[in-house]
Structure 1
């Protein structure tokens, strides 16, 4: 999952554009981008859309996720009910505050997913949207097999803690939000799931967006969320390992294999140990090797 694009579930035009943009994951949004009064109609349109996509081959399709409303809104059950009997790849849960929220949602999903898809619907959690949520991050290691990824959010967290802003004049996140970002990264890796970086709201600032993608990739995130189709090609390019990186990773793996169970090897004049091997294996997995 390199690129994960949000699209309002109540807009046929935006849905059609999103499906054609090349994103790895389309997230049909029933939460923030849909007004309260429009949610029932959005659920109906979403069901019709998913029914219309059911006959397409998996090779033609991005992964399909649905962002439901938070558990404490009382709207989650209705969101899931519109998916009854339909196959989706996953659900995104906003404003989660720990593994208990994932287990609760998992049980709800089990009541609506089709029998031939039982247990296959995955969950992506937006894990940092409240101050309380920060303290629940370590619990995701016990969230269960449906958990696929953790991502973080800055806008709702800003509102929750009462921050004047979440970015400094140079466009980078301020310290409280960088802390939330780092903790989310650590929590995802500890839980054995994908760490996904948050959105970059100014979709017209291509230079700033590329810089934030580069920082996310540098630090260990494996993908990034998008709010506009124009951001998708940039994410896909930047989060795809280069041929040079793949070749180096393969050489490291091959060298360790040739050395048996060695803890340290030499390759092209460089001493490499087991963390280098693990990094190479992860890069090759991202490249589909």
Structure 2
């Protein structure tokens, strides 16, 4: 299974249905949140809003509560009344947690020490389509008080967790989703993190505010210079075998793959833009619920 929802994934509290359409129009995909974004006393209303205010299931993720909670059971009951089939499992810590979502495509959210330590096993599960990591819950699970240094960079333990989730996902051929940037006004910091995420191979970045979507999209979109260089390089490589020199750089197979990834990102963005223009964001009338 392949995760194809575009690079910008915007969280939206599931108890705020008046925001659903706006979130859908802004981002490549919406994460309707039943967990931390909703007060416990509002979760019943949030579950009802899932059913009453449907979005396109192809570009919607539902984040459910941890599998060892009573809220999880209620979340799954609510999901069965909708067409949504891509689920983000909060605080995934065991493989049997994922197995409780049989029939769904699962994004395993590794945001505790236990979750990070089994990221490789989670990535190998057939129902898991992507891994995401979270910094703040991770630090809380360790008894810490902050994931970032005073200059805004991640502390070593958070950076290690980020890398481990990315490597686990990559080793299984699954997508990796980068964590949210909580400082909404720190555009420069988000730009830096997105640039790093793209360069390292993350498939998407989650965000918590609509203003962050454009930063993420711009970061994942190849620049004209990158596209020109990649196209020229791949054209030059046709018919060649082995390493060769191109514009002063030694080119071998890994560099060619880098160029292919650039063109693939450009193609994915084009397809995503076409989908947003052609669709109205609502499920088709003839689709059955299960």
* TM-score normalized with structure 2 length: 0.84
1:6 aligned to 11, 15, 36, which one? Answer: 11
Find the aligned partners of 2:82 and 2:219 in 1 and give their Cα distance. 33
2:135 is aligned with 1:143: no
Aligned residue runs from structure 1 range 2-151, under 5 A: 2-21=7-26, 23-50=27-54, 53=55, 63-84=59-80, 86-88=82-84, 90-105=86-101, 107=102, 110=103, 121-127=104-110, 129-144=111-126, 146-151=127-132
Report the 3-state secondary structure (helix = DSSP H, G, I; strand = E; otherwise coil) of the residue aligned with 2:267. Answer: coil
Q: Which moved more, 1:2-11 or 1:237-246?
A: 237-246
**TM-superposition CA deviations, 1:112-151 (whole Å, max 9, x none):** xxxxxxxxx5322212x1111222022134211x322211
- Between the two structures, name the one with larger relative contact order (CA 8 Å, sep ≥ 6): 2
**Cα–Cα, structure 1 residues 65 and 29, in superposed 2: closer, same or farther, change >3 Å?**
same
Aligned residue runs from structure 1 range 128-277, under 5 A: 129-144=111-126, 146-259=127-240, 262-277=241-256
Report the 3-state secondary structure (helix = DSSP H, G, I; strand = E; otherwise coil) of the residue aligned with 1:288. Answer: helix
Check conservation: 2:50, 2:82, Cα contact below 8 A. Answer: no
What are structure 1's unaligned runs of at least 5 residues?
Answer: 55-60, 111-120
In the other structure, the counterpart of 1:287 is: 266
**Cα–Cα, structure 1 residues 192 and 162, in superposed 2: closer, same or farther, change >3 Å?**
same
TM-fit CA distance, 1:13? 2.7
Runs of 4+ off more than 4 Å: none
Output the aligned Cα RMSD: 2.0
Find the aligned partners of 2:81 and 2:232 in 1 and give their Cα distance. 46
In the other structure, the counterpart of 1:114 is: none
What are structure 2's unaligned runs of at least 5 residues?
Answer: 1-5, 269-290
TM-fit CA distance, 1:100? 4.1
Find the aligned partners of 1:251 and 1:85 in 2 and give their Cα distance. 50
**TM-superposition CA deviations, 1:205-264 (whole Å, max 9, x none):** 2222222222322333232110001100111111111122122223333333322xx232
Find the aligned partners of 2:247 and 2:264 in 1 and give their Cα distance. 23
Report the 3-state secondary structure (helix = DSSP H, G, I; strand = E; otherwise coil) of the residue aligned with 1:82. Answer: helix
TM-fit CA distance, 1:288? 1.3
Q: How many residues align?
A: 263
Check conservation: 2:234, 2:256, Cα contact below 8 A. Answer: yes
Check conservation: 1:255, 1:265, Cα contact below 8 A. Answer: no
Check conservation: 1:100, 1:143, Cα contact below 8 A. Answer: no
**TM-superposition CA deviations, 1:168-192 (whole Å, max 9, x none):** 1101111111111111111111111
Find the aligned partners of 1:123 and 1:243 in 2 and give their Cα distance. 35
Find the aligned partners of 1:125 and 1:210 in 2 and give their Cα distance. 25
Find the aligned partners of 2:263 and 2:128 in 1 and give their Cα distance. 22
Q: Which moved more, 1:62-71 or 1:217-226?
A: 217-226
